[in-house]
Structure 1
Amino acid sequence: MRRTALRPELAAAAGALLLAVAVSACGSTGPSASALDSSFLKTVHQGNLAEIAAGKDAQRKATGACTQKVGEVLVRDHTALDAGAEKLAAQLHITLPKGPTTAQQQQLAQIDEHAGTPAYDAQWLAAEAAGHQDTLTLIDHEITAGRDPKVTAAARQARPVVARHLSLLRSCLASASPSASPGVSSSSPGRNQ
């Protein structure tokens, strides 16, 4: 399913948010990073950009106050965190992509087809929750396998922010549709694709 294949990239967006928070707390003057660390920074940056766009869309197009509020939180947090991610990437001489991936843009467009309806909220919340769960996996991998201590420290500091976002998303899902929240965890449709 097309929507499912796009979830990991959306999850990366959440990771970008957390990374930016960690980056702000960890000044770095190192000249370079490993391929894994570089890939992580690029992925979280694109994720941050996608989360900012998705959050702005939810503020305008969601029907539920909970969804709109989570959108506001994502915009605020990811904007602040991306500034830190950009700073760390610059210190490590890593060139970041200019925008979200094509897949991230396509996923948002697919959800936008339901703008102004309860279906929009349900799809947006489910996609964001699955993405944040995937981001936690990405962050955990960076924490255990990353080589640059500044990047792994940033991932450690970002993790609680992504986890908090996931909790907010799941709460909105549960209040919108009590039967929707159990399927949002790692067993979400298409998550393994």
Structure 2
Amino acid sequence: MFNRQFLAALTATAALLTPATAATAVHRLDPDAAFLRTAHQGNLAQIALGRIAAHRAGTPELRRLGARIAADSARLDAAVRTAAGRLDVRLDQEPNSTVEQSVTLYRSTPESDFDQLFMSSQAMLHDKAARVVRAELADGDETAARQIARRTLAVIRHHRAALGNFGR
């Protein structure tokens, strides 16, 4: 049962970082706008998931890492929201259903399985986020979005290093 639940969790969390597409004419259709919308939802997810880990993780080190991920994501999201406002990119105010599903999964995972879920899903999410960021750096042309992408990549590297330290 856990393997099925774990696979569903990884699939749901992976979908968080699938580039957002415009559903209506209100959204700008360009790489920078797509990056900002995707980054915003990813940040909302990481804020929520990090906060859950800060309370549910089995070790003080993982709890601190969860809190750091949440805090770093909140700082990045503030920059995303500012850039989106300047570039007239509309961001959803609430987490999307995929984020909500991931939050539900993190909350409902048994304590004995939580650390494994957190480590595996965070490694995957950070890898996918790095691909989204690299696409922005390759295709984006707005300075503000590219600056956020560079900051985000540095944070991703820092988090991945911290996650890697737990695997040793």
TM over 0.5: yes
For 1:105, which of 100, 118, 125 is the aligned residue? 100
Partner-residue secondary structure (3-state), 2:64: helix
Residues 55 and 74, structure 1, Cα contact 8 Å, conserved in 2: yes
For 2:163, which of 137, 151, 169 is the aligned residue? 169
The normalised TM-score by structure 1 is: 0.73
Give the counterpart letter for 2:43 in structure 1. N
For the pair 1:69 / 2:64, whether they are aligned, the reply is yes
Residues 64 and 118, structure 1, Cα contact 8 Å, conserved in 2: no
1:73-106, Cα deviation, whole Å (9 max, x unpaired):
0121111121111111000011111122211221
Number of the residue aligned with 2:51: 56
Residues 49 and 106, structure 2, Cα contact 8 Å, conserved in 1: no
Which structure 2 residue ranges, 5 or more long, are not aligned? 1-6, 19-27
- Taking the aligned partners of 1:89 and 1:78, their CA distance within structure 2 comes to 16
Give the paired residue count: 154
Residues 34 and 148, structure 1, Cα contact 8 Å, conserved in 2: no
For the pair 1:120 / 2:114, whether they are aligned, the reply is yes
For 2:76, which of 81, 85, 95 is the aligned residue? 81
Q: CA deviation at 1:10?
A: 4.3
Which structure 1 residue ranges, 5 or more long, are not aligned? 13-32, 176-193
Q: CA deviation at 1:11?
A: 4.9
- Taking the aligned partners of 2:142 and 2:88, their CA distance within structure 1 comes to 13
RMSD: 2.0
For 2:153, which of 156, 159, 163 is the aligned residue? 159
Number of the residue aligned with 1:91: 86
Cα distance 1:168–1:118, how it changes in 2: closer, same or farther (>3 A)? farther
1:30-61, Cα deviation, whole Å (9 max, x unpaired):
xxx75211011011111111111111111111
Residues 55 and 71, structure 1, Cα contact 8 Å, conserved in 2: yes
- Taking the aligned partners of 2:77 and 2:136, their CA distance within structure 1 comes to 17
Residues 76 and 148, structure 2, Cα contact 8 Å, conserved in 1: no
Partner-residue secondary structure (3-state), 2:58: coil
List structure 1 segments (4+ residues) > 6 angstroms apart after TM superposition.
none
